[in-house]
Copies of this chain bind each other. A is one copy, B any other.
């Protein structure tokens, strides 16, 4: 950054740049990154992580029209692939109507992708595993996020450790992954057991699936935080997006 300020100053000194323009440029830098202010939201334009990857809108708590407005703004600024999480079916329909194809929507994961999925350009494969069938929506949020960000994803669903042979049957897929996302609500043990079997980073996602003393995912969260297996870290309950995003980041190092 320092280099750019030096350039500006030299230009001022040389008289090729007015004080006003230089001041504006420097002020911009002090704020660091450009964004568009829509009043109810500031749309980041700087997060374009790499060629072809998706920009993300967090849909929860936003009115369908607000989402459309943000998505259009991103499109206008050249964003091809746009990922929208936690978006209702109603809002998804409005978006498809207004922004057209290509369009992807997964109703159980409440996840929408506008534009084409990019070609995978991550270094390896991301495995997304679940303890049970009911964890699949959160797992899909992670998997589709990773795919929209340019990763190859292998899904291993219902491999909970209470039936250990189901987990071990996939030992080779687990051991050849570059990152693993372990998604579980009633079997927090899944992250622990997988973490002990592999030597790549494991991102654990507790889900709010379960009943009674699962306390909306708290039991799984605590179980995962206390995992004795090294190399395991945890994201928020049901945060499939966060896990998929982080997995992609690690896979693109």
Q: Which residues of A contact B (CB under 8 A)?
A: 1-2, 5-6, 9-10, 12-13, 15, 19, 22-23, 26-27, 29-33, 35, 39-42, 44, 46, 49, 56, 58, 60-62, 66, 86, 123, 131-134, 136, 157-166, 168-169, 171-172, 178, 186-189, 192-193, 195-197, 199-201, 203, 206, 208-223, 225-239, 241-243, 245-246, 249-250, 253
Taking a contact as CB atoms under 8 Å apart, the answer to whether A162 and B193 are in contact is yes
* Copy count, this protein chain: 8
* Closest-CB distance, A15 to chain B (whole angstroms): 7
Is the beta-carbon distance between B236 and A165 smaller than 8 angstroms?
A: no
Asked if residues B19 and A13 are in contact (CB atoms below 8 Å), the reply is yes
Q: Are A233 and B230 in contact (CB under 8 A)?
A: no
The residue among A197, A200, A214, A226 with the most chain B CB atoms within 10 A of its own CB is A226
Q: What's the minimum C-beta distance from A163 to chain B, rounded to whole angstroms?
A: 5
B192, B219, B241: the one contacting A222 at CB < 8 Å is B219
Task: State A223–B162 Cα separation when bound (angstroms).
Answer: 12
B42 contacts A27, CB within 8 Å? Answer: no
Tell whether A222 pairs with B231 under 8 Å between CB atoms, given A41-B133, A188-B188: no
Q: Which residues of B contact A195 (CB under 8 A)?
A: 162
Contacts of A241 in B (CB 8 A): 230
**A13-B15, A61-B133, A193-B189 known; A237 vs B222 contact (CB < 8 Å):** no
**Chain B neighbourhood of A221, CB < 8 A:** 212-213, 225
Q: List 10 A-B contacts (CB under 8 A).
A: A10-B19, A161-B192, A161-B193, A161-B196, A201-B253, A213-B222, A213-B225, A214-B222, A223-B223, A226-B236
